[in-house]
A = this chain, B = another copy of it.
């Protein structure tokens, strides 16, 4: 017998993963969480039917949501991660030799499942510099203190992450940044949902002096093309070279990931 899970990318396109067994299934207060053991991608974390991360390709997402903003900063010390309960973003932030990481995850069950079943992703929780707060990110940011970088590693802008894509939230983020600070956020697939990316981009570039869209290849996400935004009140440039091991990011990708195909630029009316 073959077991398959399929994610609907649109009502007419689906990506199917053959799996060996379901490892865990939790209905939390906020979300429906599944963990499957797949043949191709290792363990696959699914929230509300949407692929979150897999053991085989998580390195791309986690490196790319973290390293472009962190290499834009000359010396990041204190970093806030909003969402990111699986710990993958924190693992990458630790490579920068920071002094303090705060993870604000709304759903404790995501943390529990990740710590129990995804040790290579959640390893950062074993580091004393990593502090976990189970709280809504848009509330936390109002009393959070100041950070050199803030990574918004959220689910898509429907469901519990909705407040993380609103104007107020970005204004609060800006308040919570030290001078020279930088933010990044995942913004979905420009191929199927350019309106999601362009909506966030138009807010962010209004609030910050400098904003950039950048892209990464993520095979398990819709369209394989994933967008991120980074923003700051200082110009976005690579301020340090990489001095640790990565599987996707390198010094050249800092700039090449910001080069957008015409159809993406045109959707967001960007030159």
Contacts and interface: CB of A to CB of B under 8 A. Distances in A.
A246 B217 contact: no
Interface residues of A, number: 41
A98 interface: no
Copy number of this protein in the oligomer? 2
A107 to B, nearest CB: 28
A138 to B, nearest CB: 31
Contacts of A253: 259, 261
A246 B40 CA distance: 36
A48 B15 CA distance: 20
A223 interface: yes
Given A12-B39, A255-B259, 19 more contacts: A11-B39, A12-B40, A13-B15, A13-B18, A13-B40, A15-B16, A57-B191, A191-B219, A217-B217, A217-B224, A217-B225, A217-B261, A219-B223, A224-B225, A247-B263, A248-B262, A249-B261, A249-B262, A250-B265
Interface of A: 4, 6, 10-18, 38-41, 57, 60, 191, 215, 217-219, 222-225, 246-250, 252-253, 255-257, 259, 261-263, 265
